[in-house]
Amino acid sequence: MRAAWVLPSLIEGSGGHRTILQNVQYLIRKGYECDVYVEDKGEVKNSEELRRQAETLFGKHDCRFILGYDIQGEYDIIFATAWFTAKVVRDCNSKAVKAYFIQDFEALFNPMGDGYILACNSYGYGLKPVTIGRWLSHKMQTEYHTPSRYFDFCADRRIYRSLPKAKKEHAICFVYQPDKPRRCSVLGIEALGIVKFLRPDVKIYLYGSNIKGNVWFEHENLGIIPLEKCNALYNKCEVGLCISSSNPSRIPFEMMAAGLPVVDLYMENNFYDMPNEGVRLAHTTPESIAQALIEILDHKEMAAEMSEAGKRYMADKDLEHGFEQFYAAVSDMAARREPAEPAVYDRSYTRPAVSADVVMDEKLAEQSYAPPVIVDNSLFGRLKRVGFIRKSKLLRKLWYKLRGL
């Protein structure tokens, strides 16, 4: 059996690319030959350079890396992996099964407009979806009337595990990625600012991006760190904050596997994959997120119960479990078997939202809490505020082009 995968250009630290390549490697273990076609953005000169780049960023894989989207040869199945690759797969001249490996509702990566609508359109191209998590599968079936398969959010339990000798700190870690709007870095920083104001002894660790950003309180920014160091961080912190306003990230599940209680947002995207125990979902205000974090920090017994519950939930969700689910879905699709009937998914998270109460509001008012106005003082931030640049269409175009570079 032969499979082709059509990928966006490679990005350092990308969890999405890592997940794709892990599943590529599993298909190879099961006897597939896999070719990985990667978007040509001029970052590498040829397929050999691309292979070396992939090895540097994500380790060695046994697939063939091909630069560009010129899909040649016979395949049994071809996977789109991002909304703009879905059109490439739809239009390629092949008798292969055309599938869609969906890790997020990518329309939400764009403001309302062309990007949002074109991404939504990709779900109606007739490709066969296999999604990470149940929420996306639920969405494909209820909103796009497309039968869908899914595999669970899992964690590499060789890496993400409890370290009994780890020394606990009175600390929070936050996945801080200001380059990804869906990660709500401003919301997270405002919530952590409240926590730091009310609990000045709490240590704040930021990680996940090399961008420093405008953070006004004392913290430590670890940048992009290796997976083993992520696990060490989860073991020494008392609570983890990971915000995703689209599909859940794999990170909360990796935190739970390490025994770290998790806080995320009380939004529909989290209702179908998050467990009731091990996680607290908070209303989307900084005050509510801060309250959820402080409740866990202040109540050691509750934190310990959440830690054990998270580990129990992830005990049977090693990567191999997800790979097997994915392989079963691929086998069905390659054999052109349709799902027997649309699945109906119940919510897995049924608790009420953590919501900032009157006491929190009174505490902040009593102590005259006033977060600073965040101003982007980077070169591009300062240029953006210059009047004649804002008014000139040509200069604005140039500014966005430079910013993209």
pLDDT of 157-172, one tens digit each? 999 999 999 999 999 9
Res. 391: pLDDT tops 90: no
Can you give the pLDDT at residue 26?
96
Can you give the pLDDT at residue 77?
97
Q: Which among 193, 232, 189 is positioned nearest to 209, based on CA atoms? A: 189
Position of tokens 């008014």? Answer: 391
CA distance 367 to 198: 9
Query: Please, which pLDDT band fits residue 384 given cuts at 50, 70 and 90?
Result: low
CA distance 80 to 7: 7
Can you give the pLDDT at residue 341?
63
- Those residues whose C-beta lies under 8 Å from the C-beta of residue 100, and which sit 6 or more positions away, are 79, 80, 86, 89, 122, 123, 125, 127, 128, 129, 130
Res. 394: pLDDT tops 90: no
What value does the mean pLDDT take over residues 205-232?
93
What value does the mean pLDDT take over residues 363-391?
60
CA distance 9 to 38: 6
Across the chain, mean pLDDT equals 90
CA distance 90 to 121: 12
The tens digit of pLDDT for each residue in 298-343 reads 999 999 999 999 999 999 999 999 999 999 999 999 999 887 666 6
Exposure of 358 by Cβ count < 10 A (0-12 exposed, 13-18 middle, 19+ buried)?
Answer: exposed
Judge contact between 38 and 9, C-beta under 8 A.
yes
CA distance 18 to 312: 25
What value does the mean pLDDT take over residues 232-252?
95
Can you give the pLDDT at residue 339?
76
What value does the mean pLDDT take over residues 222-249?
95
Residue 105 CA: distances (Å) to CA of 137, 179, 331: 10, 17, 24
CA distance 235 to 255: 9
CA distance 285 to 288: 5
Q: Which among 246, 235, 242, 271 is positioned nearest to 349, based on CA atoms? A: 271
Res. 373: pLDDT tops 70: no
What value does the mean pLDDT take over residues 10-15?
85
Looking at the chain, the whole-number percentage of residues with pLDDT higher than 70 is 88
Of 78-82, 146-150, 168-172, 252-256, the range with the lowest mean pLDDT is 146-150
- Tell me the whole-structure pTM to 2 decimals: 0.84
CA distance 364 to 25: 51
Query: Please, which pLDDT band fits residue 187 given cuts at 50, 70 and 90?
Result: very high
The tens digit of pLDDT for each residue in 32-86 reads 999 999 999 988 999 999 999 999 999 999 999 999 999 999 999 999 999 999 9
What value does the mean pLDDT take over residues 202-213?
93
Domains of the chain: 2-154+319-334 (3.40.50.2000), 171-315+349-366 (3.40.50.2000), 376-405 (no CATH)
Can you give the pLDDT at residue 358?
57
Which amino acid type is present at position 208?
Answer: G
Query: Please, which pLDDT band fits residue 382 given cuts at 50, 70 and 90?
Result: low
Can you give the pLDDT at residue 359?
58
Residue 299 CA: distances (Å) to CA of 64, 162, 173, 211, 293: 51, 20, 18, 33, 10
